[in-house]
Structure 1
Amino acid sequence: MDKLRILIITNLYPPQVIGGYERAIADYARLLHHRGHTVLVLTSNTEEYTNTTYTNQEPKPVVYRGLHLCGEWTKQGTHWFSLEEVASRTFLNRQIVAQELQTFQPDVCLAGNIDFLGLELLEKMLADGIPIAHYVMNATPGYISELTPKSQLHQYITCSNWIRDSLKQHGYPVNTTQTIYPGAAVEEFYQTELPPRDRLRIAYASLVMPYKGADILIEALSLLDTGGMEFSATIAGGTLIPEFTLALQEFVESEGMQDKVKFPGALSRQELKQLYQTHNVLVFPSRFQEPFGISQVEAMAAGLTLVTSGTGGAGEIVQHSKDGLVFESENPLDLADVLCSLPVSPTEWERITRAGQQRAMSDLSQLHTIEQLESVLFKLVSIKI
């Protein structure tokens, strides 16, 4: 068997997205389809999370948006529907999965984010003898460790060693777990010429949310401005808390930095590439334990210097002063010091940047990821046979 019938189950799928998890699973679906596998994506139709700036590339796999989520994401966090509603939606989801197993007849399942979908769907497939590779890009797979499927046909894939260690600490079995870095479309973002380094041109490209640390960067920029450092900065990204972005903008104006700091909102993929062409540093100031952080790899491929808080799995992307720079999380003074160090040593700045670009292109490409993922799927199918 050289080609597989792959069922992908995930709660959201582009253009309905919240963050990088959905985009990564969509990229794998597209790449597996492009490599000749027959791919069916089974997901929900949750239009309130539609992000029109995200477009998936051709060729596209078949996507069926028939599943029903059992909860929603709010400003306060996750919210489950009533027990009666959850029971009703779970029953409908089991029927849909049973129907697709009968008509599509997959060889293997790649599970993504199953939050608000429930473990029952995976248990149904395992009961029917369908192997499952669950690609975990959150601290937990969406259920408590005691409910982990016991079948040898079930295997976790983690997006970083930090996630694998987190699973182990929470009691999940990780004996067969393999870490596969998500990788990025590095060829798409690669620039042969490094962006000009005449002064600090700082980019932020992530959700503009408190846990992502945009406020830490803004505070560091204020310190740069007070110290007379020449810079410009772009804070790109959408938000689920508009008042947080507004507060950042008001602070920028109060500090007199409105001509130096711009807030363009969420960017399309093409707009993101254009952003990287005019900036030379990406700051990734996340204050929470990141599973990975694909935007960092994209920027490195484009020739930007990565300056990161290195929290969680993000700490596995670069080594400080080798191919990127790491600052103390939630410390704007340390971030400002790291940023200031770049213009004073142009030769060292270029060396770190080129090493980062090489790291992205050689070790963190989607091609490398998909080859590893394909190997896991074939291995699971061979166990079934």
Structure 2
Amino acid sequence: MKIAIISNLYPPYYLGGYEILCAQVCKELHNRGHKIVVLTSQHGVEKACVESQEFMIHRQLELYVPFPKAAKLMRRQRLRTSRTNYDTTKKFLHDEKPDLVFMWSQLRLTLGSAQAAQKVGIPTIYTFNDYYMGGYSPSAFSLRLRPFFRYILDNVFYRQITHRNLDFSYTTCISNVVKDTLLQKRVPIQNSRVINQGIPIEQFPYKKRQKITEKPKLLYVGQLHEYKGVHTILEALRLLPNLDIQLSIVGDGPQQYKDRLRSEAQNLRVEFLGKVPHDKIAEVYRSHDIFIFPSIWPEPYGLTHLEAMASGTIVISTNDGGHGEFLKHHDNSYVFKKDNPHDLADKIQEVLHHPQKTSQIVQNAREMVENKLSIKAYVSQLETFLKECLEKEKK
């Protein structure tokens, strides 16, 4: 198959797991003999360009608000960007003539590309790995003045910036949490197929661990936003003054929250490593004892959990989200209550005081990822789904 991938960002420019996974899937599909061509935004480059890697990457689309600026509704700007991306995508598809279009994150791209693919008549498949599409739902009807005004804008004057006329016959979701949340946000994906993400196991070699030393090394990897709950780790460490613990924080985010974390980290052994290139992250996992994920919002899934598990790093995490669909307390991880530093402190001590049990949990985690959640298993399911969709369209 010739597959056109359309994504808001594409590595080396990325926000998180959505874009990283997109690149991994593209490479795996390419290795299986499919012809891949990528259309993405100009984010990270000075002007529109075409790059040649294993396949062609067209950095030609526009974002209506560049990252990392805060996004606002901005209906007029979204409409202008939508029209520009519609024209760009229509020309791209006319030139490339793919068998199908595979839509990844359209966050800040608007839906111009999706509308162009549908207009051209090429089978279009969506993969939803977070909740972004809910932001394109038209405002619901209400008799209250402001909501009613928004309803008129979205359903009369700015229909093009909503998903109202898109066909969601072919979609996948990375977790049941994502599917249920999008349905609640009025995205019509009742028949979406849930396909759990996998990771490239070979990039995360397993490190068999001995007993954790007297100076345990803790790790957080992810974006630095308040809803990620990183402050909970710092609060938990203050409850463990008798332990010589070192914490490494990998990631980036708004300056205000980073300043708060640095302030709360005073007199603690905390190192802020910033954003680490993804091809270097495996060694970071291997050089730490415990990976902590303290998110206080329902995460779509858990890329970093899988990477840590594959690497042999102990996982202590909340489970309110898609990651809760594979985390099992005392089987492949330790689970603590969100926004609860006391419970987190208890789990850290439990890990340190029960090395034999912890060793078995780490081994179970590696086996789960290796046997069930590899990138090859994930792409095999995606590949089957894409072929099924294409066959249905041919009939």
The bucket for the TM-score relative to the shorter chain is: 0.7 to 0.9
Q: What is the CA RMSD across the aligned residues, in angstroms?
A: 2.3
1:52 equivalent in structure 2: none
Q: Is 1:274 aligned with 2:283?
A: yes
2:60 equivalent in structure 1: 66
Q: Is the 8 A contact 1:80 1:116 kept in 2?
A: no
Which segments of 5 or more consecutive residues in structure 1 lack a partner in the other structure?
50-55
Alignment of structure 1 residues 268-307 onto 2, 5 Å: 268-307=277-316
Q: Which has the higher contact order (CA 8 A, sep 6+)?
A: 1
- Distance in 2 (CA, whole Å) between partners of 1:204 and 1:30 is 27
Greater shift, 141-150 or 158-167, is seen at 141-150
Deviation, structure 1 residue 88: 3.4
Q: Is 1:144 aligned with 2:141?
A: no
- Distance in 1 (CA, whole Å) between partners of 2:232 and 2:312 is 23
Count residues in correspondence: 365
Q: Is 1:251 aligned with 2:264?
A: yes
Q: Is the 8 A contact 2:78 2:110 kept in 1?
A: no
1:313 equivalent in structure 2: 322
Name the aligned partner's letter for residue 18 of structure 1.
L
Alignment of structure 1 residues 219-234 onto 2, 5 Å: 219-225=235-241, 228-234=242-248
1:350 equivalent in structure 2: 359
Deviation, structure 1 residue 232: 2.0
TM-score, length of structure 2 as denominator length: 0.86
Deviation, structure 1 residue 81: 4.7
Name the aligned partner's letter for residue 121 of structure 2.
G
Deviation, structure 1 residue 94: 1.7
Q: Is 1:22 aligned with 2:11?
A: no
Say which of 142, 160, 177 aligns to 1:162: 177
Q: Is the 8 A contact 1:164 1:177 kept in 2?
A: yes
The C-alpha deviation readout for 1:160-205, integer Å capped at 9, x for no partner, is: 1111111222333334211112212222112252365234321111
- Distance in 2 (CA, whole Å) between partners of 1:274 and 1:140 is 31
Deviation, structure 1 residue 276: 1.7
Greater shift, 299-308 or 309-318, is seen at 309-318
1:53 equivalent in structure 2: none
1:149–1:90 Cα change, 3 Å: closer
2:388 equivalent in structure 1: 379
- Distance in 1 (CA, whole Å) between partners of 2:277 and 2:66 is 25
Deviation, structure 1 residue 19: 1.7
- Distance in 2 (CA, whole Å) between partners of 1:320 and 1:360 is 16
- Distance in 2 (CA, whole Å) between partners of 1:116 and 1:262 is 32
Q: Is 1:13 aligned with 2:6?
A: no
Name the aligned partner's letter for residue 67 of structure 1.
L
2:150 equivalent in structure 1: none
2:145 equivalent in structure 1: none
1:164–1:315 Cα change, 3 Å: same
Q: Is the 8 A contact 2:319 2:335 kept in 1?
A: yes
Say which of 367, 371, 374 aligns to 1:365: 374
SS at match of 2:300: coil
1:173 equivalent in structure 2: 188
- Distance in 1 (CA, whole Å) between partners of 2:45 and 2:235 is 32
The C-alpha deviation readout for 1:242-272, integer Å capped at 9, x for no partner, is: 342233223222xx22xx3221221123432
1:88–1:249 Cα change, 3 Å: closer
Deviation, structure 1 residue 70: 2.0
- Distance in 1 (CA, whole Å) between partners of 2:12 and 2:73 is 23
Which segments of 5 or more consecutive residues in structure 2 lack a partner in the other structure?
139-161
2:72 equivalent in structure 1: 79
1:268–1:120 Cα change, 3 Å: closer
- Distance in 2 (CA, whole Å) between partners of 1:123 and 1:82 is 17
Say which of 170, 187, 197 aligns to 1:182: 197
Q: Is the 8 A contact 1:34 1:59 kept in 2?
A: no
Deviation, structure 1 residue 138: 1.7
2:107 equivalent in structure 1: 115
1:198–1:21 Cα change, 3 Å: same
SS at match of 1:47: coil
Name the aligned partner's letter for residue 250 of structure 2.
A
TM-score, length of structure 1 as denominator length: 0.88
Q: Is 1:104 aligned with 2:96?
A: yes
